[in-house]
Amino acid sequence: MHIHRLTSRFTWIISKYYFTLEYLRDVPHGASLFTNKKNMDTTAFYKLSYGLFVVTAHEGDKDNGCITNTVMQVTTSPNRVSVTVNKNNYTCGMIERTGLFNVSVLSEKASFDSFKHWGFQSGKDVNKAVGIEFYRLENGVIYVIDGVNAVICAKVVQKIDLGTHMMFIADVTDAFPTDDTPSATYAYYHKNIKPAPQQTKKRGWICTVCGYIYEGESLPEDYTCPLCKHPASDFKPVE
């Protein structure tokens, strides 16, 4: 019985070995077994079911926030969420220093003006609490009212440096729904909220995030969108 099992196992290993050799013979010399395309089509990421959120923070007499698509619940016991924020965002530093933030879950009622207000300007230059409706909760942090269907309050318990971004793991201290409208996904934003780019015959590159058009034959590799601050990899040629 044991000899039969060992023989069968040995035969399986040998067959896998020869299968691998035959596969490797079909791979062109110098070719990689894994794809690593430099000019990949980043619109593939629009297919991921991201939500969209306004993450707000408060420090001293300053309120601020930014748009992100990186909020997710990571555990239910304890109830924890994570959010990843670009280090260049003023909100990131505020969360690092205070350890507190709120999440306003954007719904399909959210307007493009909300995205421009929270995503296309920096709290270093403007007071984002001006010109919008908000409530302030017990943790001292505001949340957005218009175009929002739920609110989550969180206290940071861990942070992870991801190079260009900082990930915050946080305990949920409060949460409540505010509206029954479905949440806006990243795909819904691109299809229904973000304005279609204006027709133009000029040669240039268009930002797939906010629609800004860079005029020119070629786009510098280190170019950054002046509106939404996204890199050159998020631009595509104007058709």
Q: What is the SS3 assignment for the chain?
A: CHHHHHHHHHHHHHHHHHHHHHHHHCCCCCCCCCCCCCCCCHHHHHHCCCECEEEEEEECCEEEEEEECCCEEEEECCEEEEEEEECCCHHHHHHHHHCEEEEEEEECCCCHHHHHHHHCCCCCCCCCCCCCCEEECCCCCEEECCCEEEEEEEEEEEEEECCCEEEEEEEEEEEEECCCCCECEHHHHHHHHCCCCCCCCCCEEEECCCCCEEECCCCCCCCECCCCCCEHHHEEECC
Mean pLDDT on 61-89: 96
pLDDT of residue 37: 57
CATH number, span 195-237: 2.20.28.10
Do the first three CATH levels of 44-187 and 195-237 match, i.e. the same topology?
A: no
pLDDT of residue 155: 98
Report if pTM > 0.75.
Answer: no
Using CA atoms, how far residue 218 sits from 72, 126, 139, 204, in Å, is 37, 32, 48, 7
pLDDT above 90: percentage of residues in the chain: 65
Q: Which two tokens stand for residue 157?
A: 């318990």
pLDDT > 90? residue 112: yes
pLDDT of residue 53: 97
Structural domain boundaries in the chain = 44-187, 195-237
pLDDT of residue 202: 66
Q: In this structure, are strands 142-144 and 148-161 parallel, antiparallel, or unpaired? A: unpaired
Compute how many other C-beta atoms are within 10 angstroms of the C-beta atom of residue 46.
14
Q: CA torsion, points 166, 169, 174, 175, in degrees to nearest 10?
A: 80
Domain covering 44-187, topology: Pnp Oxidase; Chain A (2.30.110)
In tens, the pLDDT along 170-187 reads 999 999 999 999 999 988
Token pair 């509206």: residue = 179
Average predicted confidence (pLDDT) for the chain: 85
Tell me the pLDDT band of 196, cut-offs 50, 70 and 90: confident
Query: What are the beta bridge partners of residue 150?
Result: 105, 177
